[in-house]
Structures are given as structure tokens and as C-alpha cells.
Amino acid sequence: MMYENSLDFARQLDADDPLRPFRDRFHIPEQGGKPLVYLCGNSLGLQPKTAREALEQELDTWQNLGVEGWFHPSESTGQPWLSYHESCKADLAQIVGAEPSEVCPMNALTVNLHLLLASFYHPTEKRTKILTIKGDFPSDQYALETHVRHRGLNPADTIIEIGPRSIDGLIHVTDIQHALAEHADELALVWMSGLNYYTGQLYNMAAITDTVRQHCRFREDIPIGFDLAHAIGNVPLRLHDWGVDFATWCSYKYLNGGPGAVSGVFVHEKHHDQLLPRLAGWWGYREDERFAMTPGFVPAPGADGWQVSTPNILAMALHRISLRITAEADMTALRQKSQQLTGFLVYILAPFTDIQLLTPDDPNQRGCQLSLLVRKNGKALFQHLTEQGIIGDWREPDCIRLAPTPLYNTFEDVWRVGEALTQFYRMGKEGA
């Protein structure tokens, strides 16, 4: 697309946008009676207008039925609370590219990571190492260290981290593939984010998974899993077809499930008939015999067997309606608009030489988020954007993250970023 830095151009793109009606399905925060330019969906998505009604429906069920709500079909889903998670499965499977049996909404991301590591990290005498990327989100690092130590190993000797290149600050897929080839005989697990929270870099998960499989042909299997916190609802995923073993994510970013919203897991169907070790709980017991209260854990079929505790029905209600919006919009359409929005933002940013784009130039290697390195007066620039009603987030020491989100952001939002930047640098030059 050929871009033009003008308000009329941005408004014409908005007028032609087939996803524009979805913006009206969200509450847009305001400042001084005017809608904010909210570019922080990579941290917390906006509230769907159906959220309050979804909560009230389950509050009514609790009020009118009490404990019987677990067994009587609700008006919102036609299912009792006991199987409420099933109302999320079809949309969740569509969004991550899976079979419904391979996904289950539950817990929080780091809790799920611990549960999945208990099942998929099995060091042996020859295979102990975990391959990951350097500087991944801290919770992931802490979880890996925890499981390594629990098995009597030293994280410094066991966790192999692939670092970014100094020339561009990015981790290239070829670097990951070379590390896989080098360490294949000693790997027990590969775990990494699918999209880097700091740089906004989207990794080629299909290519990485395929490389792992190539090195498994004449060796023991090497499980591979992904943290999809910044990828789900942001980029199209094909977890089943790619052959990913397991994954987990959060749903309060691009899925707009609310602060601290319910997480979810993916476990490939090839593992469903294996009684993998797990940190079992009553809610993961097969549903048709759960109330027999017998000893000896018998897991529910599929990903449901990784459940541990009673689900938070109110959180699940928000999850259900937010998933429906994303699935209805369709990830292919969302991806197309996302690439246009970020392309426009890259174009708008180009004249500002004090700003360096950390996120890859290649649209296929990024999602909604652009990470801007501002080494001079970065905090002052961030404060100026906030004062102008443009909401992004700041990462020390010099990074501003902006994420035009296709469900509710507009091309005019992006154009207004350029106007605010122009104002900031004009003030700086006049002040000098």
C-alpha cells in the first residue's frame, strides 16, 4: 500500500475498513470528553460492551439457583457451569488453529506453564538441556529455573539461551535453527515465546517446530512449546498443523478478556492417549466420573485433563464473549488490517531520526506492536504522548511500545501519533 501523511488519507482508509464496525463494540476510554488513542492492547485490551451483560447473566444464575447453577443449563450458554469451559472451545480452537479437544481455558499463564512443564520436561542422563531465547518474559525464565532446580540440576548449566545479534537487537530464526542442530543430542525441551514482548518480533514458529522435528527423526522426541501471550489474537496460528506439542497464553491483551483474565492451554492430540505425568487436580478428572471421589487420577480426555481447580465462572463469562468477537472478526482479516496499521505507523515514524524502530521491518516478522527506541528524551516524549491522549507503554531504559489493534484502532489514531511527534520535536527545536 502507498501511504500518505494526511488526515484525509487516514479517514478514507477508515471509511473503507471492513472491520470498522468492531470498534463500536468496545468502550473507548476518554480524556476530557474525547476518546483516547489507545495503543496499549499489547498490555491490556479494551472492554467489550457486552462484558457487563455477560457478568450479570452469571450473577443472576448464582442469585436464582445458587449451587444448582453447576448443574442447570444457563441462559447464556445453554450449559451448566460444570461444563462452562466447553462454550469457549470452538472459538478458541479457531483462533489458535487447533482441534477443540486440544484447547482448554483455565488458570493463569504462569500457572499453566508450570503444569505443562511438569508434563513435558523430562530430563534423562543424556538429555537435560532446555533451549530458549535470552531476555524472554521474566515469568518464563523463573518457571524454567524452578523446574530445573526441582530436578536437582543447575540452571546455569542446563538452560541454553539464544541471544540477539548486536547489529539489530533481534534473534534470527537461523540462529535458533543453528542452536537446535548444535544441541539436539542433549535437549530435553524447547520453550520460547512466539512473539517477543519487548521487541515485538514475531518468530517463525512453523519453521522452528519443523526444525525440531527434523532433529527428532533418529533421536528421542524433543517437545516444543510456546508462550503465546503476545501472539494469540494478534497473528494467525496453526498450532495443530505445525505440530507444536504444547502452548499457553493469557487473554487480557489482544483477546480483551479483562485484567487478569483466564488463560488457556493447547496440548496436541498426539499426546492425548499418553498418561503424561502432571500436577493433577480434581477438576482435571474425567467429568463423567468426577463425583465418584475415588483415589487414583484418571484424566479427562484431551487438554481438559490438565485442569486442576474449579474455574472462575465470572472470568470465564468475560472470556467467552471476548473470544466470540475475535473469532467473528476472523484472524485473517485482523491480520490484514494489522499489517496496514503498522505499515502506516512505520511510514509516519520514518521522518523522526531520533526514533529507531526495534521491531523488524519485515511485516511478516511482527504483529500489532512496534517497539521504538528513543535514546534522547525518550521519557519526555512518552509523557508528551500521554498528555496528548495517546496511550502506549514505557519500558526502561528507552523503549516506547505502541500497538495499533485492528479490532478497535483506526488509521486516524495512527495519524495522530505523527501529529503529536511533530509537535514534540518542533517544541524541542524552538526551545533550543
CA distance to 39, 321, 401, per residue, from 385 (Å):
11, 32, 12
Of the two residues 169 and 8, the one the predictor is more confident about is: 8
pLDDT at 75 over 80: no
The span from the CA of 173 to the CA of 179, in Å, is 10
Q: Residue range 124-143: average pLDDT? A: 96
Beta-carbon contacts of residue 362 (< 8 Å; ≥ 6 apart):
none
- The average confidence (pLDDT) of the chain is 95
pLDDT per position as a tens digit, 303-332: 999 999 999 999 999 999 999 999 999 999
Closest CA relative to residue 81, chosen from 96, 89, 71: 71
Average pLDDT of the residues in 403-417: 98
- Cell numbers placing 222: 524433543
The domains of the chain, with CATH numbers, are 7-47+330-431 (3.90.1150.10), 56-328 (3.40.640.10)
If we measure between CA atoms, which residue out of 300, 336, 316 comes closest to residue 262? Answer: 316
Distance CA 265, CA 117 (A): 12
Whole-prediction pTM: 0.96
Q: Residue 321: what pLDDT?
A: 97
Which of 221-241 are b and which e, b meaning 16 or more Cβ less than 10 Å from the residue's Cβ?
Answer: ebbbbbbbbbbbbbbebebbe
Q: Check residue 233 and give its pLDDT.
A: 98
Q: What percent of the chain has pLDDT over 70?
A: 98
**pLDDT tens for residues 241-285?**
999 999 999 999 999 999 999 999 999 999 998 878 999 999 999
Q: What pLDDT is stored for residue 427 in this prediction? A: 86
Report the alpha-carbon distance of residue 292 to residue 305 in Å, rounded.
17
Are the beta carbons of 106 and 316 closer than 8 angstroms? no
Residue 78: per-residue pLDDT: 82
Q: Which residues contact 17 (CB under 8 A, 6 or more apart)?
A: 337, 410, 411
